[in-house]
Structure 1
Amino acid sequence: MSTEITVEEPLTSNVRPATDALITVRIIKSFLYRNVKNHIVHSINLKETTASQLLDLVKSAINTMGAYRPYRNIEYDSLKIYTKAHGSKSMNLVINFENDQGWVLISPSVTATETSLWDLGVENETEISLFNWNDYVAFKANPEEKW
């Protein structure tokens, strides 16, 4: 008779606490040409950081880091969750068109609040899209890609 012990390892997204999370911000320069560059945010406290603070943090990185020089000519004003860890991804490679009501963290139509990212549904290993809201609305109305 064999005794087999199974120990389930925790998911990697659950290993880090919300006070020391890792998230990916997908900086979208062009929806039409699928110009996207990832910015990894290490050791972010999701329980204390707000969406407007994250927006300012990433915009500062774009304006100071040489790797993001081609992305500086866009007025970024919106953040939206692209996917959560171990969740299904969108069929669109640039942005998730689904759930605009719940997953848009900040935009011209969604005013910034003092609500933490954690309370807005952001977890460890979440991917968030950074983009211009007017470009998003135009692309959503006619999602044609050129390349």
Structure 2
Amino acid sequence: MADEAVVTVRLVRSFEHRNFKPVVFRGVCLDQTVRDFMDHVLNEITSRPGLPPPFRKYPYDTMKIIHQAHGAKTNELVMSLEDDDKLILQIDQSLKASGVVNETEVAFFRSQDYGLYKANPSSAW
């Protein structure tokens, strides 16, 4: 189907420690709302094999486009801190209206963590 896509979701547990795990979702309907997709991802990761327990129960609440196929990638190791107004997905819009296309990679994180990291973007080792 033309409106189905492969979307990689980068589950971000910690920006400072660069602790994230990419999870691939196939057959994603781009006409669903961002909220529906978030709910699907949250339900899916609780039982997905190979995903460590800390990633399964984390309170993710925000998605942001990291990059799209054939586009430029950021130099940031977790995700770009730029263009939040364009790249953070609006919860009531469809994925398609939010700019998600086939082979898009999105970060899924807790907005409070992102705000703290953006105010002081340093890495801990």
* Common fold: TM-score over 0.5: yes
| CA RMSD of superposed structures (Å) | 1.4
Q: Partners in 2 of 1:131 and 1:67 — Cα distance?
A: 19
Residue 28 of structure 1 aligns to a residue whose secondary structure is strand
Aligned 8 A contact 2:46 2:57 in 1:
no
- Mapped partners of 2:74, 2:57: distance in 1: 27
Structure 1 unaligned residues grouped into runs of 5+: 1-15, 107-111
Shift of 1:72: 3.1
Q: Name which of 93, 96, 110 aligns with 1:132.
A: 110
1:23 pairs with 2:23: no
Give the aligned residue type for 1:131.
F
Deviations 1:72-115 (A, max 9, x none): 34211100001111111111110121110011114xxxxx31x2
| 2:99 paired with 1:121 | yes
Looking at secondary structure, tell me which structure has more strand per residue. 2
TM-score, normalised to structure 2, is 0.92
Matches for 1:95-114 after TM superposition, within 5 Å: 95-106=79-90, 112-113=91-92
Partners of 1:71 and 1:21 in 2: CA distance? 23
Amino acid at match of 2:99: G
What is the letter of the counterpart of residue 118 of structure 2? K
CA contact (8 A) 2:10 2:22 kept: yes
Report the equivalent of 1:43: 27
> Which structure's CA Rg is the greater one?
1
Match of 1:89 in 2: 73
Q: For 1:52, which of 16, 22, 35 is the aligned residue? A: 35
> Bigger relative contact order, structure 1 or 2, given CA contacts below 8 A and separation 6+?
2
Is 2:62 the counterpart of 1:78? yes
In the comparison of the two structures, how many residue pairs are matched?
Answer: 124
More helix by share: 1
Percent of paired sites with the same residue: 36
Quick one: distance in 1 between partners of 2:47 and 2:28?
A: 19
Structure 2 unaligned runs (5+)? none
